[in-house]
Amino acid sequence: MTTTAFLQYCLAGISIGGIYALIAIGYTMVYGILRLINFAHGDIFMMAAYFMIFAMVDFMIPWYISASIVIISTILLGLLIEKLAYSPLRSSPRMSIMISAIGVSFLLQNLATYLFSALPKQYPAIPVLNKTLTFGEVSTSVVTFITPIITIGALIILMAIIKKTKIGMAMRAVSKDFQTAKLMGIEINTVISVTFIIGCFLAALGSMLYFTPRPSVFPLAGSLPGLKCFVAAVFGGIGSIPGAVLGGFLIGLCETFIKAAGYSEFSDVFTFILLIAVLMFRPTGLFGETLAEKV
C-alpha cells in the first residue's frame, strides 16, 4: 500500500467512523438516562434520509433549508416515538420497553416500505458537499473531510452542555438516580425529551453526511449502520459518550482497512465479532462503569 493510498483510506475510515460516532452517541445517551437500547434509532436515521428526499426532490427546497427541515422533522419523529411507545411504559419492567423499541424499529421499516416503496430512491446531491478537495496526492470530497470535524465539534459542544449547564447536570443526576432526581424537583420527562432531541439531532446530521456520498436510500438502509453504531456504543462502554465516539471511529477505520485489504465481504462480520469479543472479555466496554452490587 502506498502512502497516498494509506492516507486516503485513513481519511475514509475516520469519516465513516465519525458518522457512526454521531449515531452511537444517540444510543448511549438514551441508554444512560432510560436504561433502554433504542433499537429504533437506526431507523430514525433512515427516516431522516427520506425526509431529505422529500424536501429536496419532491418540494425542490434548497439544501440548506432542507437540512433544517430534516433536523426538525427527525427530532419531532423521535419525540413522538418517545411519547407514544416508551413513555407509557416508564414503570413497566425494562424488558417491555425494549420489546417496544424493537416493535418501533419494524414499524418504521415497514412504514417506509409502504410510503416510499422498497425500491431504492436516489439521495439528492448537495453540491457544496460533493466538491472534490485535493491535498497533494490525496483527493477527497468535502463531505468526507468535514465529517470528522463536525463529529468532534458536536462532541465538544455536547460535553460542555452536560458538564456546564443546568439541564446537563440534571441529566447526570437522572442517569444515576431517578427518584432522588425527582426529589430535587427535576422534571424527568423534560430530561428524557432533551435526550431524545440531542440523539435525533445527531442522527439527522449523521444521515445527511452518510447518504450524501451514497447513491440511494431504501427502507432497510438504517438497520445495518444502526447495529454497527450500537456495537460502537457497547464497545465504548454503553452510557459513556466519549466511549461511543471512540467506538465509532474504531469501527469505521477497521472496516475501511478490511475492505482495502480485499476482504469486503468480511467488513460487517468484523463488527459483530467485535461485539461478541467485547461481551465476552469486557462486557462493560472501554469506559463503562463496573456496577458494584451492594450486599
Question: Which of 4, 187, 214, 272 lies at the binding interface for other proteins (CB under 8 A)?
Answer: 187
Give the distance, in angstroms, between the CA of residue 22 and the centroid of all CA atoms in the same chain: 5
Dump the DSSP string for 1-42.
--HHHHHHHHHHHHHHHHHHHHHHHHHHHHHHHH----TTHH
Phi, psi of 132 (to 5 degrees): -100, 135
Q: Taking CB under 8 A as the criterion, which residues in 154-173 touch other proteins? A: 166, 169-170, 172-173
Question: Which of 70, 186, 234, 253 lies at the binding interface for other proteins (CB under 8 A)?
Answer: 186
> Are the beta carbons of 187 and 266 closer than 8 angstroms?
no
User: Among 86, 87, 78, which residue's Cα sits nearest to residue 103?
Assistant: 86
User: Among 236, 223, 244, 240, which residue's Cα sits nearest to residue 278?
Assistant: 236
Give 182 or 214: the residue with its C-beta nearer to other proteins: 182
Per CB under 8 A, does 93 bind other proteins? no
Task: Please tell me the distance from the alpha carbon of residue 24 to that of residue 16, in angstroms, as a whole number.
Answer: 12
Give 3 or 190: the residue with its C-beta nearer to other proteins: 190
* Rg of the chain (C-alpha set): 19
Shortest Å distance, C-beta 87 to other proteins = 15
Q: Taking CB under 8 A as the criterion, which residues in 224-283 touch other proteins? A: none
Task: Please tell me the distance from the alpha carbon of residue 221 to that of residue 199, in angstroms, as a whole number.
Answer: 18
Give 93 or 185: the residue with its C-beta nearer to other proteins: 185
Question: Which of 177, 261, 277, 283 lies at the binding interface for other proteins (CB under 8 A)?
Answer: 177
Shortest Å distance, C-beta 167 to other proteins = 10
Give 225 or 243: the residue with its C-beta nearer to other proteins: 243
Task: Please tell me the distance from the alpha carbon of residue 104 to that of residue 40, in angstroms, as a whole number.
Answer: 6
Percentages (nearest 5) of helix, strand, coil residues in the chain: 75, 5, 20
Give 137 or 187: the residue with its C-beta nearer to other proteins: 187
Shortest Å distance, C-beta 256 to other proteins = 35
Binding region for other proteins (CB under 8 A) out of 30-38, 76-84, 124-132, 184-192: 184-192
Other beta carbons within 10 angstroms of residue 83's beta carbon come to 14
Which residues in 126-269 belong to E strands, given as ranges? 132-135, 138-141, 216-217
Give 90 or 176: the residue with its C-beta nearer to other proteins: 176
Question: Which of 185, 262, 290, 293 lies at the binding interface for other proteins (CB under 8 A)?
Answer: 185
By CB under 8 A, the count of residues binding other proteins is: 15
Shortest Å distance, C-beta 250 to other proteins = 25
Question: Which of 90, 131, 176, 214 lies at the binding interface for other proteins (CB under 8 A)?
Answer: 176
Give 137 or 177: the residue with its C-beta nearer to other proteins: 177
Give 119 or 164: the residue with its C-beta nearer to other proteins: 164
Q: Going by C-beta distance under 8 Å and a sequence separation of 6 or more, which residues neighbour residue 262? A: none
Binding region for other proteins (CB under 8 A) out of 72-80, 103-111, 177-185, 240-248: 177-185
> Are the beta carbons of 98 and 37 closer than 8 angstroms?
yes
Which positions touch other proteins (CB under 8 A)? 166, 169-170, 172-173, 176-177, 179-180, 182-187
